[in-house]
Structure 1
């Protein structure tokens, strides 16, 4: 049985209420829960997978898109607070890496339970996003430009690109998330007070050494970084195996 909480926007592909811990996943710009659902087949038996569904997509298609970054962050914070008292790891990819960082910081400010660890993937450090990201499209770009970008980065399958209605929905979703991410402003002094693990593709757009240095500068409670094969979404088998990097000691790969 698959369950979706309409209030907390949490999708559990394989509910495990007796699991000792939870892996909470935050998606990338224009994404949903679908890219993470197969992870339920590979997470350890003592881990429950909890996928956060942002407004305006999938089970929350009828919910208006978040109006700005703070609204999206608060929506995620509400979802994470509704997960219960079990220990959890917070994972975010690309835009989700900033959301994971900011969600953990906001939970700490609220006095709510914080994650046992943060795993940030495929994203530059939030305080450096203005200096990087020249490859990222803007919310005012044309539909054709957004489609081309999604196709280049492997975010739009050929079957979606070939279907006008599906393509239009994907463009609308990406444009909305781009507008939200453009409103993000890093708060000077924000830190990661829990252990932080960085994952990054060998062929991603920014140099790994710079991304590693920038994230490390925000970490107060332990830091490690690993470079994995592939580009922004890694190689297919690497993406499928990412739960290994989120739920246990890092497998031997890349360089710490």
Structure 2
């Protein structure tokens, strides 16, 4: 399949399950490439590649959840073609929830489960002040405090000028989007970092309002970006959660 929205590093036409992975703000499909090592034989990994990154670097990034969903839903035939699991980290969790909700709302196949990593429940307001619109230097300082953008990019003026439009657009979505609470008819597994100061315990527990089934919670030693610092552990947990599907 030739489609820039989906990066499928190891196509598996015999797969009986697709794992759709939604990266965090500023993230790209490369985050999930190490997951190919040990990927169960019946699963095909599909990394979502929104404009402004990877092979879509020169395309303007979406700056609203509505625009992101419009593009995703234009490919709903592929998304619902096989049984699927949605995994997202931070903003990616909220995109994955909204996509699952829109599929359910329009009587399409929903994913078998949603794995929400490193995120407050999306119907809760952002508890931090918005910063996507800050002047250049202040915006850079906020990025540094998040510890998610590689130092080599932050300190490279030319690279930062290239990535700033994407980062501002992603954080505009992250700062402003708030979902309508709707309980999905699927299980939700919630992954969180024990040292994540950006996601509070009550914001994790609030995911229960978005599932008609009991949620499960799984902790990792790390801050907001435990998906990177504990990559092998996160991958192992995700594979464990979906191995029997």
Q: Give the TM-score normalised by the residue count of structure 1.
A: 0.85
- 1:218 pairs, out of 210, 216, 226, with 210
- Which runs of structure 2 are paired with 1:28-177 in the superposition (5 Å)? 28-79=24-75, 81-83=77-79, 85-130=81-126, 132-134=127-129, 137-177=130-170
- 1:242 pairs, out of 216, 221, 234, with 234
The 3-state SS of whatever aligns with 2:116 is strand
- Alpha-carbon deviation of 1:151? 2.9
Greater shift in the superposed pair: 73-82 or 211-220: 73-82
d(CA) in 1 for partners of 2:89 and 2:152? 24
Root-mean-square deviation (CA), in Å? Answer: 2.3
Aligned residue number for residue 179 of structure 1? 172
Q: Give the TM-score normalised by the residue count of structure 2.
A: 0.89
Greater shift in the superposed pair: 89-98 or 228-237: 228-237
- Alpha-carbon deviation of 1:243? 2.6
* Consecutive unaligned residues in structure 2, runs of 5 or more: none
Query: Kindly tell me: are residues 224 and 98 of structure 1, through their superposed partners in 2, closer, same or farther at Cα, counting changes over 3 Å?
Result: same
* Consecutive unaligned residues in structure 1, runs of 5 or more: 251-256
Query: Kindly tell me: are residues 172 and 116 of structure 1, through their superposed partners in 2, closer, same or farther at Cα, counting changes over 3 Å?
Result: same
8 Å CA contact 2:19, 2:44 repeated in 1: yes
Aligned residue number for residue 254 of structure 1? none
- Alpha-carbon deviation of 1:208? 4.6
- 1:203 pairs, out of 195, 200, 216, with 195
d(CA) in 2 for partners of 1:174 and 1:237? 21
Q: After the TM superposition, which segments of 4 or more aligned residues of structure 1 sit over 6 Å from their partners?
A: none
8 Å CA contact 1:91, 1:119 repeated in 2: yes
Note the alpha carbon deviations across 1:45-69, whole angstroms, 9 max, x for none. Answer: 2211100111222222333322522
Query: Kindly tell me: are residues 79 and 39 of structure 1, through their superposed partners in 2, closer, same or farther at Cα, counting changes over 3 Å?
Result: farther
What number of residue pairs does the alignment pair up?
243
Note the alpha carbon deviations across 1:25-83, whole angstroms, 9 max, x for none. Answer: 11111222121122112322221110011122222233332252211122223345424
d(CA) in 1 for partners of 2:226 and 2:159? 24
